[in-house]
Amino acid sequence: MSEPLLDVEGLYKAYGQHLVLRNVNLAVDRHEVVSLIGASGCGKSTLLRCINLLEEINAGQILLNGEPISAASPNADRVRQRIGLVFQSYNLFPHMSVLDNITLAPRKVRGEGRAASEGEARKLLARFGLADKADEFPDRLSGGQQQRVAIVRALALKPDLLLLDEVTSALDPEMVGEVLDIIRELKNVGMTMMLATHQMAFSRQISDRVAFLDAGRIVEIGPPEQIFDAPEQERTRHFLERVLSTAP
Amino acid sequence: MTVELATANGAGARHELTDAEIERLLAPKPAWTRADVRRSIAIAAVSSIVFVGAAAFLLGRSSGWEAVRAAFFSWPDFKAAFPKVLQGFALNFKIFMIAEPIILAIGLLLAVIRSGRSPVFFPARAAAITFIDIFRGAPSLLVVLTLGFGVPALRISGVPNTTVFWGSVAVILTSSAYQAEVFRAGIDSVHASQRAAARSLGLSNMQALRYVVLPQAVRRVIPPTLSGFVALQKETALISVLGPLEATRQAQIYASLNFNFTSYLVAGLLFIAFTIPLARFTDYLLARAAQRETVGGAV
C-alpha cells in the first residue's frame, strides 16, 4: 500500500479564541473522492482552506505525497499550484475574460506561453461545453457557467488534488445539475477530490468515503452506505434525520 | 394607455392583450414629446431672465458697482493682460503635466505599501503612514513656502535650486498623500475573496496584487482620481507665492502695475476653461459606472 496523496494529522485550527477544527485526522488516496458533510459552521470549509494553505493551522500537520506542506515556508505558492480550490461564490476575476481567468496562473505562475496556455484552456472549455464562452466576461455568464469556468480555471494547473467548497450552494436549482455533471466526469477520469457539500444524494452517489463533521471534529467517516444507511454514531444519525426530512 | 384599454373593454375587465395592442405597448416612446421640450425651454427662459434681471438690478443699484466694474471687468485691461497671463498659464500647465504622472506613481506606491500586511514591511508601512499624515495634514501653502524657500537655501548639490522646482516638489508631495488615500480606498474595496482566489491558484502575494487586485482597484477610483487632477491644476497656482511667473503671479503683476484687477479674471477663466473638460469627463465616467451598477433599474 503506497502512501496516501493527502494526509492530515492532528489538525487544530482556531480563529482567535474560537476553536474551529479539533484533532482532524484524514488520509485521502489517489483517485479517491471524499465528501465532507455537516451543519453550516462545522468546519468543512475551514478544513479545505487549511489544506490549500489559505489559513495557517495552529497544530498538527498536512502532508502531500508524504511531504509536509503546512510548515511556514516560502513554498506555499508552489504547493497551491498542486491543490486546486473552487469556491462557493466562484470568485472569477471580473476584469478578465474567461480565457484570461483560466490562463492567468499557467502564464504567470508556470511561465507558459500565451499561445500554449490558451490552446489548453480552449480545449478544457470545449470539454465542459463552454467553448463559445472563451471571450466573454464573467458577468455575462449564468451562475452555473461561472462555476464551471471556475472549475476549469482550477483544472488548468493540472492539480493533484481538487478541493470543492460547496460549489453548488450559491446556484439556482436548475443550474446545479450542470456543475454536478462536471464533478462526475472528473471522478470518471480519476481526479482526486475533496468536496464540502450539502447535497446528500450527490455525496452518496459520487463519494468513495463520506466524513461527517460536527463542532470541528470528524465524528464518523466511512463508505456512503455506512454513513447514510447505517451510521454508527448517534450524532450522524441525528444530523441526517434532520437534513433528509427537510430535503426536497 | 391603461385607461384607454380598460374603457374599451368595459369596467376595466382584465383581458389578454391582442397582438396589435402589445405592439402599441412596446412601441418605442420618445422620452420627451415636443410639448414637453417647449414647456421646459419656456420655464428655463423665464426663470433665467428673472434671476439675471434681479441680479443685474441689485448690482446696478449698489453704490460701488461702477468702481468694481472698472476694476474687475474692464475689456481693454482684459485684452492687455491676456497674453502675459496666458504665457504664465503655460507654466502651470507644464507643472501639471510633469507632476501628475509622478503623483500617480508615488500615490500608488504609498497605497500598496500601506495595504501590505507582512511584518517585514512594518518600517516601510510606518514611513508611508507618517508621510501621508504629514502632507495631508499640513496646509499646502505652508508646504510650498517651507520647501520653496527653505530647501534652496541648503544649496544641495546635484538638484535644481529653483523655486519652480521646489514649489513643484511641494505640490507633488501634498497631492501624492491624497492620491495614496484614493488608491487605498480602491484596494480595500476589492473583496478579500478575490485575493484568496488568486492565491489559491499559486500566485504570489505580489502577483495577486498586480494582476487581480490593482486592476480592479484602479478602475474603481478613476473618478476621484480625475477630481484630483482638477485639484492639482489649481494647486499649481500656490507656487506663485515663491515668485515664478505662472498665471496667478502674472495676473498679480499686471494688477499692481495698472491698478486694475481684470487680470485676475483672466487667470480665473483660464483655470476654469482647463478644468471644465476634466470635470465633464469625470461626470461621464461616474454616470457610466452608475448605469453599469444598476442594470435593469429605472431609478
Q: How far is A154 from chain B (nearest CA, A)?
A: 7
Q: pLDDT value at position A33?
A: 96
Q: How far is B79 from chain A (nearest CA, A)?
A: 51
Please list, in sequence order, all residues whose beta carbon lies within 8 angstroms of the beta carbon of residue B92, skipping any fewer than 6 positions away. Answer: B233, B236, B237, B246, B247, B271
Q: How far apart are CA B277 and CA B216, in angstroms?
A: 25
* Adjacent-strand bridge partners of B107: none
Q: How confident is the model at residue A7 (pLDDT cuts 50, 70, 90)?
A: very high
Q: How far apart are CA B43 and CA B227, in angstroms?
A: 33
A50 touching chain B per CB within 8 A: no
Provide the ipTM: 0.90
Residue pointed to by grid coordinates 504547493:
A79
Considering only CB atoms, which chain A residues are within 8 Å of B216?
A: 93-95
A71 touching chain B per CB within 8 A: no
Q: pLDDT value at position A46?
A: 94
Q: Where are the domains of chain A?
A: 6-92+160-246
Architecture (CATH level 2) of domain A6-92+160-246: 3-Layer(aba) Sandwich (3.40)
* B166-205 pLDDT, tens digit each: 999 999 999 999 999 999 999 999 999 999 999 999 999 8
Number of alpha carbons in the 13 Å side-chain half-sphere of residue B138: 20
Q: How far apart are CA A187 and CA A31, in angstroms?
A: 8
Q: pLDDT value at position B138?
A: 92
Considering only CB atoms, which chain B residues are within 8 Å of A105?
A: 201-203
Q: Answer for the pair B241, B171: CB distance below 8 angstroms, yes or no.
A: no
What domains are defined for chain B? 2-54 (no CATH), 85-293 (1.10.3720.10)
* A173-196 pLDDT, tens digit each: 888 988 999 999 999 999 999 999
Q: Please list the ranges in chain B whose pLDDT falls under 70.
A: 1-13, 291-299
Q: Answer for the pair A86, A164: CB distance below 8 angstroms, yes or no.
A: yes
Minimal-distance CA residue of chain B relative to A81 = B202
Question: What is the sign of the dihedral through the CA atoms of B155, B156, B161 and B163?
Answer: negative
Q: Is the pLDDT of residue A229 over 60?
A: yes
* B111-142 pLDDT, tens digit each: 999 988 778 889 999 999 999 999 999 999 99
Q: pLDDT value at position B51?
A: 94
Summary mean pLDDT of chain A: 91
Q: How far apart are CA A69 and CA A76, in angstroms?
A: 7
Interior CA angle at B161 toward B156 and B167, to 5°?
115
B215 touching chain A per CB within 8 A: yes
Q: How far is A203 from chain B (nearest CA, A)?
A: 24
Q: How far apart are CA A229 and CA B89, in angstroms?
A: 84
Considering only CB atoms, which chain A residues are within 8 Å of B291?
A: none
* Adjacent-strand bridge partners of A196: A36, A165
Summary mean pLDDT of chain B: 86
How many C-beta atoms lie closer than 10 Å to residue A1's C-beta? 4
Q: How far apart are CA A58 and CA B90, in angstroms?
A: 62
Q: What does the pLDDT average to over A88-96? A: 92
Q: pLDDT value at position A78?
A: 87
CB contact under 8 A, A80 and B196: no
* A39-49 pLDDT, tens digit each: 988 999 999 99
How many C-beta atoms lie closer than 10 Å to residue A49's C-beta? 18
Provide the b/e sequence for A174-206 (b: ≥16 CB within 10 Å): ebbebbbebbeebbeeebbbbbbbbbbebbbeb
A217 phi/psi in degrees, rounded to 5: -120, 150
Q: How confident is the model at residue A73 (pLDDT cuts 50, 70, 90)?
A: low
Considering only CB atoms, which chain B residues are within 8 Å of A153?
A: 201
pLDDT-above-90 percentage for chain A: 78
Q: What is the C-alpha radius of gyration for chain A, rounded to an integer number of angstroms?
A: 18
A52 touching chain B per CB within 8 A: yes
